[in-house]
């Protein structure tokens, strides 16, 4: 360990006067003038930022479709549809507490038309084919334009389920199918409806770049611009002692600190608290910063990498370089699977059939806020060897899913692989996660001019959730490997 990290007590080297100078004084630096005697316990993680999203229930119209059981039909004459519907509803309510199910039964096409007349406020539909009801109920509901899950009661609704789903998909409606003996698959599909709703209840902050207004048009997510001047004003009001507590915490939890001084890490603490304050002010769940422009332009005293790591670990989103497309990808998947994403500038090694995801910030709780943490090092930012960033030593032997949701193309670029190495190489960014590609490594060379350099990696085999939520958004999935 570097001698710079021997002092892991609560000393705060950031002077109050220099701190209050804000970002306008960044070029002059911060001087170590006083020890403030800060406690080593920082404030609690910012769970309050998720409350505006979590307290809004998703309204789902649950339509049970089936014929009368008085005549021969699938599943059989005399089938107790009422008992089965009650059982399904109880399971759904127990497993999806953030969804309000508005229950109706459709036994003919006219019922579906009547249902739509009163459904302007619902967020989506769950059409459960309890029996084989021939007609146009699936087509009628899908034509509402709202996202719909169509599910089959196996050996009961299968005929109309299959034909209805195939037709609605072919006609381009936002619908996904669940035909499974595992009830969890139906729950996971409802979670996709919840994810889409959460995006419409969320906001992202964009610091130092022009906001992409098409994001709100596609996802319903509010995009709030923040200038560097506004960032600097908020920075000048941050509690110095709290910033030093975060420096203590990050240094204490790190496996080692290599280049950065304690002051560099304290500056990261001030930036983290500035981000939190701005996110609270605007009720935002994600933030992306033009960090290179901010630091090189003298608008920020350091890099936000440690703060981004903390936000990601706590179930929120911090994203590099003002990349709004990757920010939305991270936010969407955080809601969908509860895991943070790792934005990277990939490198491809065909000799090893590997893609190496490289960046100077990464989460250290890749399985979500309640999952296990992996070791990390605090390093300087690689390109300029300044400030503080993160080398995350992420778990090996795990399947990963790497994607980008593009709201302009209405596509998702997609590939997968198995983690094999945390590459120790001085060139390029500090975190370098090598993955053995599932598929054709040479095909993986073909899409970068259309999609740009960034990709976002998530731990887990998440192919089905990605395909499902893409369908509900009206996106096509493009498999690049």
pLDDT per residue as tens digits for the range 37-46: 445 566 666 7
Q: Give dist(CA 82, CA 79) in Å, integer.
A: 9
Q: Given this model, what pLDDT does residue 326 score?
A: 98
Per the CB < 8 A criterion, the answer to whether 253 and 230 are in contact is no
Per the CB < 8 A criterion, the answer to whether 418 and 435 are in contact is yes
Q: Given this model, what pLDDT does residue 43 score?
A: 66
As a whole number of angstroms, the longest Cα–Cα distance in the chain is 87
Residue 77 carries which DSSP code?
Answer: T
Task: Please provide the DSSP assignment of 18-65 as one string.
Answer: HHHT-GGGGGG---B-------S-PPPP-GGGGHHHHTS-EEEEEEEE
Helices (H), 204-304: 214-219, 228-235, 240-253, 262-281, 291-296
- Domains of the chain from N-terminus onward: 3-32+46-52+201-479 (no CATH), 57-199 (3.40.50.9100)
Residue 35 pLDDT > 50: no
Residue 5 pLDDT > 50: no
Non-local (6+) Cβ contacts of 427 within 8 A are: none
Residue 355 pLDDT > 70: yes
- Average pLDDT over the chain reads 91
157-192 residue pLDDT tens: 999 999 999 999 999 999 999 999 999 999 999 999
Give the position of tokens 């309890």.
130
Give 3-state DSSP helix, strand, coil % of the chain, rounded to 5. 40, 25, 40
Residue 351 pLDDT > 50: yes
Closest CA to 280 of 311, 257, 253: 311
Mean pLDDT, rounded, for 428-437: 94
pLDDT band at 11 (very low <50, low <70, confident <90, very high): low
Non-local (6+) Cβ contacts of 162 within 8 A are: 152, 179
Residue 7 pLDDT > 70: no
Residue 409 pLDDT > 90: yes
Mean pLDDT, rounded, for 131-140: 96
């Amino acid at each position: 360990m570097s001698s710079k990290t021997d002092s892991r007590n609560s000393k705060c080297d950031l002077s109050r006067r220099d701190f209050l100078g804000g970002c306008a004084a960044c070029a002059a630096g911060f001087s170590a003038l006083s020890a403030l005697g800060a406690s080593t316990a920082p404030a609690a993680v910012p769970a309050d930022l998720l409350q505006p999203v979590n307290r809004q229930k998703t309204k789902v119209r649950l339509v049970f479709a089936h014929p009368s059981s008085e005549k021969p039909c699938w599943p059989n004459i005399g089938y107790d549809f009422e008992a089965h519907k009650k059982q399904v509803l109880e399971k759904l309510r127990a497993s999806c507490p953030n969804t309000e199910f508005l229950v109706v039964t459709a036994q003919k096409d006219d019922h579906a038309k009547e249902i739509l007349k009163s459904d302007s406020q619902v967020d989506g539909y769950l059409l459960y084919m309890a029996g084989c009801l021939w007609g146009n109920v699936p087509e009628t509901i899908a034509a509402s334009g709202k996202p719909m899950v169509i599910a089959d009661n196996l050996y009961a609704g299968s005929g109309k389920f299959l034909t209805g789903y195939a037709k609605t998909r072919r006609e381009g409606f936002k619908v996904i199918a669940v035909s499974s003996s595992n009830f969890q698959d139906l729950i996971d599909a409802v979670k996709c409806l919840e994810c889409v709703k959460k995006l419409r209840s969320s906001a992202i902050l964009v610091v130092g770049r022009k906001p992409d207004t098409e994001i709100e048009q596609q996802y319903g997510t509010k995009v709030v611009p923040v200038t560097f001047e506004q960032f600097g004003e908020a920075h000048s009001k941050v509690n110095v002692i709290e910033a030093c507590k975060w420096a203590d915490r990050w240094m204490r939890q790190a496996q080692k600190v290599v280049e950065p001084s304690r002051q560099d890490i304290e500056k990261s603490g001030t930036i983290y608290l500035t981000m939190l304050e701005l996110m609270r002010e605007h009720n935002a769940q994600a933030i992306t910063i033009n960090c290179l422009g901010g630091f090189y332009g003298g608008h920020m005293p350091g890099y936000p990498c440690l703060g981004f790591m903390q936000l990601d670990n706590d179930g929120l989103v911090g994203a590099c370089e003002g990349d709004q497309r990757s920010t939305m990808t991270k936010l969407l998947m955080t809601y969908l699977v509860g895991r943070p994403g790792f934005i990277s500038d990939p490198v491809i090694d065909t000799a090893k059939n590997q893609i190496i995801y490289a960046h100077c910030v990464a989460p250290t709780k890749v399985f979500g806020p309640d999952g296990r943490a992996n070791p990390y090092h605090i390093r300087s930012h690689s390109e300029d060897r300044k400030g503080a960033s993160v080398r995350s030593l992420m778990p090996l032997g795990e399947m990963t899913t790497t994607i980008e949701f593009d709201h302009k193309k209405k596509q998702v670029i997609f590939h997968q692989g198995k983690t094999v190495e945390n590459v120790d190489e001085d060139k390029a960014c500090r975190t370098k996660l090598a993955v053995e590609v599932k598929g054709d490594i040479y095909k993986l060379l073909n899409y970068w001019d259309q999609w740009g350099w960034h990709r976002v990696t998530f731990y887990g085999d998440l192919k089905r959730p990605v395909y499902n939520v893409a369908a509900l958004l009206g996106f096509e999935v493009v498999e690049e490997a």
